[in-house]
Structure 1
Amino acid sequence: MTATQTIAAALNGQPDLYSALRHAVTRAQAMPAIPDLIAACDATTAARLASVDAGLLAAVARHGLTGEAVPGAAALRRALATVATHPLFLPDPATAPCMALPTTGERPDMPAFSDPAFDPWFAQHQARGTHYGLGLYGENRTVYATPQFADAASPERRTIHLGIDVFAPAGTPVHAPLPGRVRHLAYNADPLDYGHTLILEHDLNGTRFFTLYGHLAATLPGLHPAGSVEPGQIIAHLGDWPENGGWAPHIHFQIITDLLATSGNFFGVGHAGLIDIWSDISPDPNLLMRLPTTSFTV
Structure 2
Amino acid sequence: MSVVDFDKKSDKIIALDFTQKNTSLSSEIIGNTTSFCNYIDDLLKFKDAKFGIGGYMENRTVYARSEHFGNDKEIEPRRLHLGVDIWGAVHTPIYSFMDAKIHSFAFNNTFGDYGATIILKHKLEEVVFYSLFGHLSLKNLEGIAKGDNIKKGEQFCDFGNVEENGSWPPHLHFQLMCDMENYIGDYPGVGKLSEKQKWLDKIPNPNIVLKF
Report deviation, 1:239. 0.3
Counterparts of 1:142 and 1:109, CA distance in 2: 12
Deviation for aligned residue 1:259: 1.1
AA partner of residue 232 (structure 1): G
Kindly indicate whether the alpha-carbon contact (under 8 Å) linking 2:101 and 2:122 is maintained by their aligned counterparts in 1.
yes
1:277 Cα deviation from its structure 2 partner: 1.2
Instruction: Label 1:274 to 1:206 Cα distance change in 2 as closer, same or farther (>3 A).
Output: same
Change in CA separation of 1:287 and 1:261 when aligned onto 2, cut-off 3 Å: same
Q: Name the structure 2 match of 1:247.
A: 168
1:78 matched residue in structure 2: none
Quick check: which has more Rg, 1 or 2?
1
Query: Which sections of structure 2, spanning at least 5 residues, go unmatched?
Result: none
Pair 1:124–1:141, CA change in 2 (3 A): closer
Distance 1:114 1:132, change over 3 A: farther
Q: What letter is aligned with 2:6? A: P
Offset of residue 290 of structure 1: 0.9
Other-structure match for 1:260: 181
1:186 is the counterpart of 2:101: no
Distance of 1:213 and 1:182 partners within structure 2: 11
Report Cα offsets for 1:136-192 as digits up to 9, x if no partner.
111111233575335xxx943322100100011111110111111001111001110
Contact 1:171-1:237 within 8 A present in 2 as well: yes
2:19 — aligned with what?
Answer: 104
Percent sequence identity is 30
Question: Residues 100 and 121 of structure 2 are in contact (CA less than 8 Å); yes or no, is this contact kept in structure 1?
Answer: yes
Give 2:51's aligned residue.
132
Gaps of at least 5 residues in structure 1 are 1-85, 292-298
1:91-126 residue CA offsets vs partner (Å, 9 max, x unmatched): 257973111111124543344396311333333343
In structure 1, the residue matched to 2:36 is 118
Q: TM-score, normalization: structure 2?
A: 0.86
Instruction: Verify: 1:275 aligned to 2:193, yes or no.
Output: no
Q: Whole-Å Cα distance in 1 between the matches of residues 193 and 38 of structure 2?
A: 32
Paired positions, count: 203
TM-score (norm 1): 0.63
Residues 201-240 of structure 1 aligned to structure 2 (within 5 Å) = 201-220=121-140, 223-240=144-161
Rounded to whole Å, the distance in 1 between the matches of 2:160 and 2:81 is: 20
Residue in 1 that maps onto 2:63: 144
User: Is 2:104 aligned against 1:158?
Assistant: no
- Do the aligned partners of 1:223 and 1:235 also contact (CA within 8 Å) in 2? no
Question: Secondary structure at 1:279's aligned position in 2?
Answer: helix
Structure holding more helix per residue: 1
Distance across 1 between alignment mates of 2:76 and 2:178:
23
Alignment CA distance shift 1:93-1:174 (3 Å) = farther
Deviations 1:3-39 (A, max 9, x none): xxxxxxxxxxxxxxxxxxxxxxxxxxxxxxxxxxxxx
Q: Which has the higher strand share?
A: 2
Q: 1:119 is aligned with what amino acid?
A: C
Higher RCO by CA contacts (8 Å cutoff, separation 6 or greater) = 2
Cα pair distance change 1:102/1:95, threshold 3 Å: farther
Residue 196 of structure 2 aligns to a residue in which SS?
Answer: helix
Which deviates more from structure 2 when the two are superposed, residues 181-190 or residues 125-134?
125-134
Deviation at 1:234, TM superposition (A): 0.3
